[in-house]
Amino acid sequence: MPVKLRFGILGCGRIAARHAVQINRLGQLIAVCDTIKERSETLAAAYQAKSYCTAEELLENEKGIDVMVVCTPNGLHAQHTIQSLRAGFHVLCEKPMAIRTADCIEMAAEAVKAGRQLMIVKQNRFNPPVAAVKKLLQENRLGKIYAVQVNCFWNRGADYYRDSWRGTKEMDGGTLFTQFSHFIDLLYWMLGDVKNIQAILANYQHTGVIEFEDTGAVLLEFTSGVTGTLQYTVNSYKKNMEGSFTVFAEKGTLKIGGEYLNELSYQAIEGDGIDALPAGAMANDYGIYKGSMSNHDKVYDNLLDVIENNAPVAASAFEGMKTVEIIEKIYRAAKYVDLQSVYQNNTVQ
């Protein structure tokens, strides 16, 4: 019988609890770390693990760990991943891989140097309708792809950002990194790289709360010639409304919808379409807000298969880097709306 994998977790925020459940299913949680001592001690006590307050202390004292799970703020992913790889551990890094492409490249290089796996959490790839559309594309069932439309209409109020790293350029990076990087990942995973981008961004409701946009409209031209639009906001009134992916193609039109890319909204496909889909997982529920689908069980099944059987990684470091690269391209291309001028013009009689 294979020896259970031993895990550590850096960062004990809300998402760490999802990881701990899966770790307990497949292996053993050895140690956890958070700069807020109470968080670390609470998670450690639930799984009879050791608690630390700094990554350095954990890495120095826990040499028997097989896999380090990085759940710290976005701006620390690169630092903590590189430290863990240099300590000799495989790494599973939460999204986004980092908030700078250059950091992603360094992370991937360190994994090669260490001879260890670097895996990125992209759990929305496992949503049943998402997996079904990916299969259609792989089998060229839709023929030539003309265009795609992605909508992301979510709600994040001031309470979500209060007294937190969220909303800061240094640790959060931007709305596309924290809320919508899964959607950027799916655009790349489904359609390939992007060569031209135009974007208009604005902060309508979170002025003084966050250091970047809360709304964006993006026009994308893929290297394949496909055109795409991405419309996103965290200003949806009171609740998340839609996370959708619509494809217009030579032999079909279809839409993955629902709040979290979790439903097949409609389809018209030449020949046989998508059959009845299995039920998907529930969305991650954090009380004051909901996040993406909770498919971490499938992420961990893949992790185990990768380490024990040398199976392909579900979401590689290269793919994680491409997501970050496209987001950086969007921000570089963006024009920011001058809201003061807009409001003044709207009030002129």
Q: 4-60: per-residue pLDDT in tens?
A: 999 999 999 999 999 999 999 999 999 999 999 999 999 999 999 999 999 999 999
Q: Is the pLDDT of residue 304 over 60?
A: yes
Q: 230-244: per-residue pLDDT in tens?
A: 999 999 999 999 999
pLDDT given for residue 288 in this prediction? 53
Average per-residue pLDDT in the chain? 93
Query: What ranges make up the beta strands (E) of 57-162?
Result: 67-70, 90-93, 118-120, 145-153
Mean pLDDT of the 125-154 span = 97
Reduced to 3 states (helix: H, G, I; strand: E, B; else coil), residue 318 is helix
**Cβ proximity of 86 and 55 under 8 Å:** no
CA angle 208, 174, 299 (to 5 degrees): 135
**Cβ proximity of 33 and 11 under 8 Å:** yes
Q: Is the pLDDT of residue 166 over 50?
A: yes
Confidence of residue 338 (pLDDT cuts 50, 70, 90): confident
Mean pLDDT of the 211-217 span = 98
Q: Which range has the worst mean pLDDT, 172-176, 211-215, 278-282? A: 278-282
Q: Is the pLDDT of residue 349 over 60?
A: no
Distance CA 278, CA 23 (A): 24
Reduced to 3 states (helix: H, G, I; strand: E, B; else coil), residue 336 is strand
Mean pLDDT of the 310-320 span = 97
pLDDT given for residue 342 in this prediction? 62
Q: What are phi and psi of 89, to 5 degrees?
A: -100, 150
Mean pLDDT of the 52-77 span = 98
pLDDT given for residue 286 in this prediction? 52
Q: Is the pLDDT of residue 135 over 70?
A: yes
Q: 100-122: per-residue pLDDT in tens?
A: 999 999 999 999 999 999 999 99
Neighbour order of strands in the sheet with 334-336: 263-269, 252-257, 242-249, 145-153, 227-233, 215-222, 194-202, 334-336
Mean pLDDT of the 137-165 span = 96
Mean pLDDT of the 209-226 span = 98
Domains present along the chain, CATH in parentheses: 5-120 (3.40.50.720), 124-290+317-339 (3.30.360.10)
pLDDT given for residue 348 in this prediction? 45
Q: 255-300: per-residue pLDDT in tens?
A: 999 998 999 999 999 998 998 887 766 655 555 555 556 799 999 9
pLDDT given for residue 280 in this prediction? 64
**Cβ proximity of 122 and 93 under 8 Å:** no
Percent of the chain with pLDDT over 90: 89
